[in-house]
Amino acid sequence: MEKYLTINSKKVSFNNEKSLLEVIRNENIELHTFCYHSELSVYGSCRLCLVEVEDRGIISACSVPPEPEMNIKTNTERIIKIRKIIIELLLANHNRECTICAKSESCKLQTLARRLGIKKIRFKNVLQKSSEDASTYALVREPSKCVLCGDCVRFCDEIQGIGALGFANRGPKSLVCVSFNRELNDSECVYCGQCARVCPTGAIMPKYEVNYVWKVLSDSKKKVIVAIAPAVRAAIGELFGLRKYNGDELAGKIVTSLKTLGFAKVFDISFAADMTIVEETNEFLKRIEVNDNIPMFTSCCPAWVRFVEQYYPDFISHLSTCRSPQGMYGSIVRRIMPRVFDIPDRDLVVVSVMPCTAKKYEARRHELAKNGINDIDCVLTTQELAMMIEEAGICFEKLESCAFDMPLGFKTGGGVIFGNSGGVTEAILRNIMNTKFKNLNEVEQFSFVRGERGLRKFKISIGDKELKIAIVYGLNNARKILKSIKAGSKYDFVEVMACPGGCVGGAGQPICTDLIVRKKRTETLYENDKVMNLHKSSDNPYVQKLYKNYIGKPGNLKAHEYLHTNYSYKKRFKEILKISDSLQDDNIKIDVCFGNNCISRESREILSHIVNFVENGKYKDRVNITSHICLERCFNGPNIKVNGKIIERCSLKMVEDAIRDEFDRLKDEC
């Protein structure tokens, strides 16, 4: 049954909308907001979505559900004044070097100031500039541009389940920062960059490497090659107003623009995605055959890999050892292209264009380097590529399409759909059917694995084997799957991508807050797949030729040297935090491990319990407590050290008993 309310004297129906804001936006009235985001919980801090409700006064539209007979005004003189004051107050405490801000064209603060007609700021500038945090390869933080909307904090906590960022202090001293005010590189950040995607200003941005690329392109001794990821072609048109073009046409324009910029060769990461599928299919079938390290997790998302290395090192062996498509591309071209160009390795510059900020981190992993030379020298995001095209004065929308260079420019539909959540799984299932059942002529699309939900589960029978599959995006959903596996749930194959929707929703893509835009990107890649001549990665003739001439068979020793890698536990805490530090030499000394694996096994709760146990008992002033960097026993956590003795898999009772025993021992010695 439809219900009605009134908006600006117009009778409006509503049904399942959760808030007044949704009802109002359905009427094509774009109420201004900073802190409201459809993917996140309601926060209600910015107060820009104020409306006036008859008999109830001024309220926030984002946090109030609609009710029948409400009479709402969205733009009274009083509300407009309040909105202007809010923006002026934000600007009075903001770094207003807007003309040189990387987010100038998409900054919501600038947009709202313009829309509200703010011509001057009546308040004194109280900004206290803080230093820029450029400690990571992936992201840059500029706290002086933060408007305290909390979008980054909530996304990191609610969607990714990490909580690398949080609020500190109160009142005018409030700020968003890393715990203990560390640099981002010393936090639990996995570099997915989704905080930068939802940030309305330039407070968190991808770390741009455009200047480096211009420098090497200008060096006559260097040969610079580049490859673009499939998700890039699905989104770059948004930055040039070309939404009507399909991904294949845009890919051709990208190739033309890259050639114009001076790149010697332009390849397609989708070729390397085909190689990844071939290797990953082979690896999966072998694991299934011997029932070893099942379920197998995909490893093409570097943020997800980092997440496992930090929080779940006991699952590292379950990660596919296959390099990501970017990793395989870098490895292959490093071994082939110096001979093609007849140049030393150091004069070959390998660039990739990716939708993802975590790929910048992946390119610097020591596992993806040889003899001190990184396989990938530089990673540009979709945003950075568009920036270079504009800097060069290229009229992108007027360009004719140009073909990728061969052989690393040829791809199948399996490589193209890699950029979507579920795309890796679908491509592998196609390949399994091709590997195990060669008499099947028709391509099985496996379209049932597609979808918008962040956690999807399926069962599929292939021959006499039933496979249990999970497809996940968002690391909080990944955490749920890992916990369920620990609790006994059975899966054979799990695909994980950190970004919503997969790579198409990466933080290096054009900024979008409308989920319809992301859905169109996904559809673009599936449409490209439909028109491809080949749909199964193992059918790529140039991949077959590469194996024949350079590698041999999938999964052999040379394939492992070129196309596989390894992962290890990554420690993030670089200092000891003293909780209690009494001066007596004969005190009981307790170290609580704060490595990420122990944190995931509730070492923080144990630390809190120890502090309460000591403070409220007879042991006060007789115990020194510290949280330690890592006790190097990650698979047996949580770990606690009491006077030099490590207690593995420690419980609350075990640590209490250890403190009592040590106290009695020291008492007897005295």
Residue 438 has pLDDT above 90, yes or no: no
The more confidently predicted of residues 490 and 36 is 490
SS3 state of residue 547 = helix
Give CA separation, 11 vs 3, 6, 18, 20, 23, in Å. 10, 4, 18, 14, 12
Residue 492 has pLDDT above 90, yes or no: yes
From 283, 426, 495, 662, active-site residue: 283
DSSP-assigned letter for residue 564: B
CA distance 339 to 264: 14
Do 577-669 and 210-563 fall under one CATH topology? Answer: no
From 270, 320, 352, 603, active-site residue: 320
pLDDT digits (tens, 9 = 90+) for 590-647: 888 877 677 778 887 888 888 877 777 666 667 777 766 566 666 677 888 888 788 8
> Is residue 359 among the annotated active site residues?
yes
Residue 462 has pLDDT above 80, yes or no: no
- Cβ neighbours of residue 114 closer than 8 Å, sequence gap 6 or more: none
For the chain, state the CA radius of gyration: 27
Q: Across residues 509-519, what is the average pLDDT?
A: 87
Phi, psi (deg, nearest 5) at residue 494: -130, 120
Q: Thinking of the domain 577-669, which architecture would CATH place it in?
A: 3-Layer(aba) Sandwich (3.40)
CA angle 361, 364, 367 (to 5 degrees): 115
From 156, 177, 356, 503, active-site residue: 503
Strands (E), 582-647: 588-593, 623-628, 640-642, 645-647
Residue 284 has pLDDT above 90, yes or no: yes
Residue 179's pLDDT is 82
Q: Across residues 374-382, what is the average pLDDT?
A: 95
From 39, 367, 648, 656, active-site residue: 367
From 362, 384, 426, 495, active-site residue: 362
From 188, 238, 279, 280, active-site residue: 280
- Residue 321's nearest CA partner among 563, 571, 635, 570 is 563
From 145, 359, 536, 641, active-site residue: 359
pLDDT digits (tens, 9 = 90+) for 322-333: 999 999 999 999
pLDDT digits (tens, 9 = 90+) for 191-210: 999 999 999 999 999 999 99
> Is residue 391 among the annotated active site residues?
no
- pTM for the model: 0.83
Residue 574's pLDDT is 45
- Cβ neighbours of residue 136 closer than 8 Å, sequence gap 6 or more: 184, 185, 189, 191, 207, 361
Average pLDDT of the chain, as a whole number = 87
The band of 568, judged by pLDDT with boundaries at 50, 70 and 90, is confident
- Cβ neighbours of residue 275 closer than 8 Å, sequence gap 6 or more: 325, 328, 332, 537, 543, 546, 563
Taken as a whole, the chain contains a residue count of 670
Residue 471 has pLDDT above 80, yes or no: yes
Quick one: which H or E segment has residue 284?
helix 269-290
- In one letter, which amino acid is 604? R
> Is residue 279 among the annotated active site residues?
no
pLDDT digits (tens, 9 = 90+) for 134-183: 999 999 999 999 999 999 999 999 999 999 999 988 888 888 999 878 88
Residue 436 has pLDDT above 80, yes or no: no
Check whether the bond before 638 is cis (ω within 30° of 0).
yes
DSSP characters for 287-350?
A: HHHHT-SPSEEP---HHHHHHHHHH-GGGGGGB--BPPHHHHHHHHHHHHHHHHHT--GGGEEE
pLDDT digits (tens, 9 = 90+) for 125-136: 888 778 889 999
SS3 state of residue 577 = strand
The band of 441, judged by pLDDT with boundaries at 50, 70 and 90, is very low
> Is residue 192 among the annotated active site residues?
no
CA distance 36 to 147: 13
Lowest mean pLDDT among 231-240, 369-378, 442-451, 628-637: 628-637
Cβ-based neighbour number of residue 315 at 10 Å: 18
Place of tokens 């319809």: 516
- Residues 286 and 485 sit within 8 Å (Cβ to Cβ): no
b/e per residue 442-464 (b: at least 16 CB within 10 A)? ebbbbeebbeeebebebebeeee
Tokens of 371: 């003899």
Quick one: which H or E segment has residue 381?
strand 378-381
Q: Across residues 553-568, what is the average pLDDT?
A: 91
Look up the CATH number of domain 210-563.
3.40.50.1780
The band of 496, judged by pLDDT with boundaries at 50, 70 and 90, is very high
Give CA separation, 144 vs 93, 149, 370, in Å. 8, 13, 40
Residue 596's pLDDT is 67
The band of 439, judged by pLDDT with boundaries at 50, 70 and 90, is very low
Residue 442's pLDDT is 42
Look up the CATH number of domain 87-206.
3.30.70.20
Place of tokens 């201004």: 32
pLDDT digits (tens, 9 = 90+) for 381-393: 999 999 999 999 9
What is the domain class of 3-75 according to CATH?
Answer: alpha beta
From 107, 195, 300, 322, active-site residue: 300
The band of 320, judged by pLDDT with boundaries at 50, 70 and 90, is very high
Residue 575's pLDDT is 44
Residue 664's pLDDT is 78
pLDDT digits (tens, 9 = 90+) for 230-245: 999 999 999 988 876 6
- Residues 473 and 497 sit within 8 Å (Cβ to Cβ): yes
The more confidently predicted of residues 524 and 443 is 524
> Is residue 67 among the annotated active site residues?
no
Residue 411 CB-half CA count within 13 A: 35
Residue 440's pLDDT is 44
Residue 424's pLDDT is 93
- Residues 254 and 380 sit within 8 Å (Cβ to Cβ): no
Q: Across residues 72-94, what is the average pLDDT?
A: 91
- Residue 562's nearest CA partner among 411, 312, 368, 288 is 368
Residue 513 has pLDDT above 60, yes or no: yes
Tokens of 193: 């960059």
CA distance 459 to 149: 42
Residue 571's pLDDT is 61
CA distance 560 to 259: 33
- Cβ neighbours of residue 335 closer than 8 Å, sequence gap 6 or more: 550, 562
Q: Across residues 655-665, what is the average pLDDT?
A: 82
> Is residue 367 among the annotated active site residues?
yes
Q: Where are the domains of the chain?
A: 3-75, 87-206, 210-563, 577-669
pLDDT digits (tens, 9 = 90+) for 16-74: 888 999 999 998 998 888 888 878 888 878 888 899 999 899 999 888 999 999 999 99
